[in-house]
Amino acid sequence: MTTETYRDAWGIPHLRATSARELARAQGRVTARDRAWQLETERHRARGASASFLGAAALSWDVFARRARLDDTARRCFAALEGRDPETADWVRAYVEGVNAGLPEGAARTPEFERTGLAPGRWEPWTPLGVWLSTHILFAGFPAKLWREEAIRHLGPDAVGLFATDGPGTSGSNGWLLAGTRTDTGLPLIAGDPHRFVEDPGVYQQIRLSCPEFDVVGIAVPGVPGIAHFGHTGTVAWAITNAMADYQDLYRERLRRTGAGVQALGPDGEWHRATRHTETVEVAGESPVEIEVIETGRGPVIAGGPEGLESGSPEPELATALALRHPPRVTEDLGFSALLPLLRARTVDDVDGALDAWAEPVNVVQAADTEGGLLHRVAGRVPLRSEANRRRLVPAWEPGHEWRGWLETPRAQLADGIAVMANQRGLATPLGVEFAAPHRADRIHTLLQEHRVWSADGLPRVHTDTYLGSTGALLDRAAALEGLTPEVSALRDQLLAWDRHMDADSTDAAAYAALRSAVVRRLAAHPALAALTEPPAYPEVLLPWMSLTARIGYALEHLLCAEELYGIDRDDAVRAALEEVAAAPPAGTWAKTHRLAPWRALPGEPYDEPGLAGDHDCVLCTSAVPGITDLAARGPAARYVWDLADRANSRWVVPLGADGVPGSAHHRDQLPLWLKGELAPVVTDWTLLTLEHTEDDEDFDV
């Protein structure tokens, strides 16, 4: 059997093989060649071993990964997959064979290996499942329950609603579907952009996978076979956003040591043995760290232990630890049985059937086919349990907090030929607690209603819209102020006349952002909120959810509009912030401080990263953290337009490039397109591609 690797002008791999299994091997191999450093970083992160070459900065994640038992969960899920779906398990094995075959070449061309002394290791059949799990374990935002617990303890239950928002650690996305009645071809269009932390190399990989069974273009996750989230088979296309569902629980545990080990108090009032062992985490340049790994009947203990939990618990005499319960650990299923059927899909019914096997993350899905079929549904596994479980920590020793089955995932029809998904309340409302503000979804609806008929060429204008719908709460308070000095009045009048677009070249946008941050800092410093300024001693990896300033920054609209806010005079805060900014106005445009800040596992020489348009509540969602930084670490990790009338009229882009090797021709060549809101064409004609090499079976000996 033979496989062929082609490249387009952007270095995007197009793979052709004689079987699905050989294609999986080719996908693994080309990914290892292009993304060796990324793959090895993710493999180590999934195993809780990244500090061994990244140093102490990675230790908190490694400890969390070990205590949460991510690698063990991946092993269990793969073993169950072998018994339940041997074809998919063998397909995953083939991908791993390809990764192992390609890693030596990929490592040889990647300077990070030499810098750290890391040698490429060996992937196991369950490694892709571990990569998927570690990439998405924080997607449902279970640490938000820690924040809610603290907010309720210090401010009361109303604080949950006041601070509810798409928080600093949550990933979101935009997506929209236009039925054929709303397009110039009479067939549907799907478009959108996933919002994640922008990483270098990128978290998404543009790729084409072709064999006699299927021919799919799409955006894959490096380290995972197939195309899970965004794909176009030629006759059907699909895309997702985060449903903002709540499907992970945190249990307060009461633990005690005995001569035989550790016991946990259960809801039956009895003490039950917990599993326990120790592990050693290697740390580059420092001494190894030994940790205790405990698991109760609820799940792995991620914080605390028998000796206590330094969490500010209101029940310190009872709660000594926190255990995490999440579906893959309970069911031994990560939903990989959906991946091959997605590639083989021909209609929306096929996509719908494939997604019945989906597990996590829980997504809102949109799909359309060339026969005019449309799909708008939620896919994933959400447990049925008490309302308290969904909102806060619950005591493991009290009955009533067990899981009682799975909720049915909702689906909906398109209204007026349009469906929009932007993490807002809507289709997934029964499954979640906190959702994104409606501004992005409302703005997309408004833009799509400007024309009755759309073409694929027109949709990037929606991707890049910079209108900030959340400005009203702050600007309305500013407008009502009296007795301002002439300088402050001039600033206030300037902002009230502003068009509310966070354009890169806008000085008004820069002034608004400065005012917003000044208000956030003042609210965060108010004595009424002082109890929330020092987060409890939870693991470092969970602390972004506990930042009072970040929470205020993202929930500012709610906090300014609330009837009362714990005695805080918000008009005084806005007045003082206006005076501060008027005295020292920002020197330049929004793009001067709102710059791209991609995450890199191994920091090196700082890039001179470009300035950006957009903001957290814009459709062009380039998220800063008001009150802390204007830098944007999160934003569109890809953009796409899927045309069902002609796949060759589809287009896509990623923030940097297809190649993960610094200095290579395709490492950052898509950045200029991404900055301008332009998209690269999806090439489907093989004669327009460059044949890079041909591989035979013997080339895959590993």
Residue indicated by tokens 């008490």: 386
515 neighbors 577 (Cβ within 8 angstroms) = yes
166, pLDDT greater than 80:
no
- The stretch 670-693 carries a mean pLDDT of 97
> Mind listing the pLDDT tens digit for each residue in 574-606?
999 999 999 999 999 999 999 999 999 988 766
170, pLDDT greater than 80:
no
Burial label for 365, CB within 10 Å (0-12, 13-18, 19+), is buried
- The stretch 510-533 carries a mean pLDDT of 97
Q: What confidence category does residue 607 fall into, taking pLDDT thresholds of 50, 70 and 90?
A: low
Q: What confidence category does residue 165 fall into, taking pLDDT thresholds of 50, 70 and 90?
A: confident
**Any idea of the CA torsion for 245, 246, 247, 248, to the nearest 10 degrees?**
140
- The stretch 16-29 carries a mean pLDDT of 98
CA distance 421 to 242: 9
The pLDDT assigned to 604 comes to 72
Name the nearest CA neighbour of 596 among 679, 655, 677, 647: 655
The pLDDT assigned to 309 comes to 76
- The stretch 310-316 carries a mean pLDDT of 49
Contacts of 581-586 with CB under 8 Å at 24 or more apart are: 581/491, 581/511, 581/514, 581/515, 581/518, 582/485, 582/487, 582/488, 582/490, 582/491, 583/487, 585/491, 585/511, 585/514, 586/507, 586/510, 586/511, 586/513, 586/514
317, pLDDT greater than 60:
no
699, pLDDT greater than 60:
no
Mean pLDDT for all residues in the chain: 95
- The stretch 543-570 carries a mean pLDDT of 95
679, pLDDT greater than 50:
yes
211, pLDDT greater than 60:
yes
- The stretch 58-86 carries a mean pLDDT of 98
CA distance 332 to 360: 12
427 neighbors 380 (Cβ within 8 angstroms) = no
Q: What confidence category does residue 299 fall into, taking pLDDT thresholds of 50, 70 and 90?
A: very high
The pLDDT assigned to 311 comes to 47
The pLDDT assigned to 390 comes to 94
Percent of the chain with pLDDT over 90: 92
655 neighbors 636 (Cβ within 8 angstroms) = yes
168, pLDDT greater than 90:
no
Residue indicated by tokens 């899970």: 228
The pLDDT assigned to 151 comes to 93
74: tokens are 């991946």
106, pLDDT greater than 70:
yes
User: What domains appear along the chain, each with residue ranges and CATH number?
Assistant: 2-137+173-244+336-375+406-441+635-684 (3.60.20.10), 155-169+468-600+610-634 (1.10.1400.10), 249-325 (2.30.120.10)
167, pLDDT greater than 80:
no
**pTM of the predicted structure, to 2 decimals:** 0.96
560: tokens are 């300014």
The pLDDT assigned to 119 comes to 96
Contacts of 526-533 with CB under 8 Å at 24 or more apart are: 526/568, 526/573, 528/565, 528/566, 528/567, 528/568, 529/155, 529/566, 529/568, 531/154, 531/155, 532/150, 532/151, 532/154, 532/155
508, pLDDT greater than 60:
yes
470, pLDDT greater than 90:
yes
149, pLDDT greater than 60:
yes
316, pLDDT greater than 60:
no
CA distance 250 to 307: 19
Q: What confidence category does residue 9 fall into, taking pLDDT thresholds of 50, 70 and 90?
A: very high
176, pLDDT greater than 70:
yes
The pLDDT assigned to 223 comes to 98
The pLDDT assigned to 265 comes to 97
DSSP assignments along 421-470, one per residue: ESS-SSTTGGG-S----THHHHHHHHHHTT-SSB-GGGTHHHHT--B-TT
